[in-house]
Structure 1
Amino acid sequence: MGKENKLSLSQQLNVLRAGVLGANDGIVSVAGVVIGVAAAHGSHSAILIAGLAAILAGAFSMAGGEYVSVSTQADTEKAAIKTQKEALENDFENERRAVVNYYLEKGIIKETAEEIANELMESSPLKTTIEIKYNLEEGEYTNPWHAAISSFIAFAIGSLLPFITMAFIPANYRIIGTIIAVTITLFLTGYISAYLGSARKGPAILRNVLVGFLTMGVTYGIGLLLHVN
């Protein structure tokens, strides 16, 4: 039962991480696109088409990137476990000695370390050695589909904010309204990402907002330079 709870928590944290990153990327990238087109004096329909294209392209790109990345991680974890199985079959004593050394390094006296290692290697040698050597658990592989789907949905949801504000706010206030809405949302995603990672909230929020401002500033400047009638 305890292992099931741990697996469930691990998967949930992975989905949350991918979701927060996807939402943040959706907010920043689509805001940059629609603000750039608006700054170039593009028509309302041009803004909407560009925004919609950015949402679809970004969501699929984010999902694909997460899938490839997490799949590679899972393959690496499986390969490490396979290697460890072979090591136990070929030189069990050397692996037992590695467990003894692990506990010796923890400050446990030699006799006790030997007793612990013997007991663990007798009951669950693979579980013991992969936890000590690779910090992994057999069967607990990161699910690439969870990360991909979470990223896709989160990107799409996050990108809807700048898209909707640009679509429905009166023309004279589109850009400033979008910037305000995006800044508030980036504050929230920065806070959530710091919370999930047990990091300091202030620096994470500041970085998030500054990156958003930089993105919107650059695309706004490019839009002005590429002014169209």
Structure 2
Amino acid sequence: MPTVLARLRSAVTDAASLRSWTVDANDGIIATAGVLEGFAGAGASDATLLTAAVVATIAGGLSLGGAKWSEEAAEREAQLRVAREEAAQLELSPEEEVVELAGYYERKGVSAAVARQVAEELTAADALGAQLEAEHGIREVMARTAPVWAGVSASAAFVLGALVPLLITVLVPGKLEAWAVLVAVIASLVLTSVVSARSGRTGVLRTMTRSLTVGVGTLGISFLAGLLIF
């Protein structure tokens, strides 16, 4: 079972995990900053802004973490169900399963003789694993702790992002707060966009443009909503 340290190392070295972290961190930045801008537009006091920032950070982190945990848990249950079905089919008709596996490789362009040999060798090594990967794209059934880790990591990334606007409410005077939040959000989104683009080998400028459009747009609309309400 992977240790926490191993999971953390994977999260910062694996491109897909790193992109997921930056997306969740961006959610924390934008959602919390949007709440603050809305309250600032309504003329809220410093105490109210701080309360809003703390509540948005806690609620957002728990909500995102819970959603990720639920999503991954459902995926694991689906994988286990498929694995049970494939195991039953292997027990009832192993030869038919070998034929199906060989057919999969034939459709990939492998000759019938070689496909049959590959299917037999893979079945001898790990019959269930071969069937799951070929028929369902499941290379490895998700570990029991994976959904929990997904939820915890998503919550942590959200909170880390939310700390940017939260700290602004603590460190910056009220009159400058709205502008300071906007500047901090832009800087944070630029940084996370660069990380996300580099890890995914996509265009930095295009990724940055999308993030800033969503972020600045959210803050502007939230501020305007606060002005119109009060």
TM-score (norm 1): 0.86
Residue from 37, 44, 47 that aligns with 2:46: 44
Match of 1:4 in 2: none
Give the CA deviation at 1:199.
3.8
Amino acid of the residue matched to residue 100 of structure 2?
A
Which ranges of structure 2 fall in alignment gaps of 5 or more residues? 1-5
Matches within 5 A, 1:62-101: 62-101=64-103
Listed one character per residue, the Cα deviations across residues 116-166 of structure 1 (whole Å, up to 9, x for unaligned) are: 222222332112111111122344437011111111222112111111113
Match of 2:189 in 1: 186
Change (3 A) 1:116 1:9: farther
Residue from 166, 178, 195 that aligns with 1:163: 166
CA RMSD of aligned residues (A): 2.4
Match of 2:32 in 1: 30
Distance 1:198 1:27 in 2: 23
Distance 1:10 1:134 in 2: 28
Which ranges of structure 1 fall in alignment gaps of 5 or more residues? 1-6
Distance 2:78 2:10 in 1: 17
Distance 1:189 1:182 in 2: 10
Match of 1:143 in 2: 146
SS at match of 1:136: coil
Listed one character per residue, the Cα deviations across residues 70-95 of structure 1 (whole Å, up to 9, x for unaligned) are: 11111111111111111111222221
Contact 1:104 1:113 in 2 (8 A): yes
Amino acid of the residue matched to residue 73 of structure 1?
E
Listed one character per residue, the Cα deviations across residues 34-57 of structure 1 (whole Å, up to 9, x for unaligned) are: 111112111111111111111111
Q: State, as a whole percentage, how many aligned pairs show the same letter.
A: 29
Give the stretch that moved more between structures: 107-116 or 174-183.
Answer: 107-116
Match of 2:228 in 1: 225
Change (3 A) 1:147 1:11: farther
1:176 aligns with 2:184: no
Distance 1:17 1:224 in 2: 35
Give the CA deviation at 1:200.
3.6
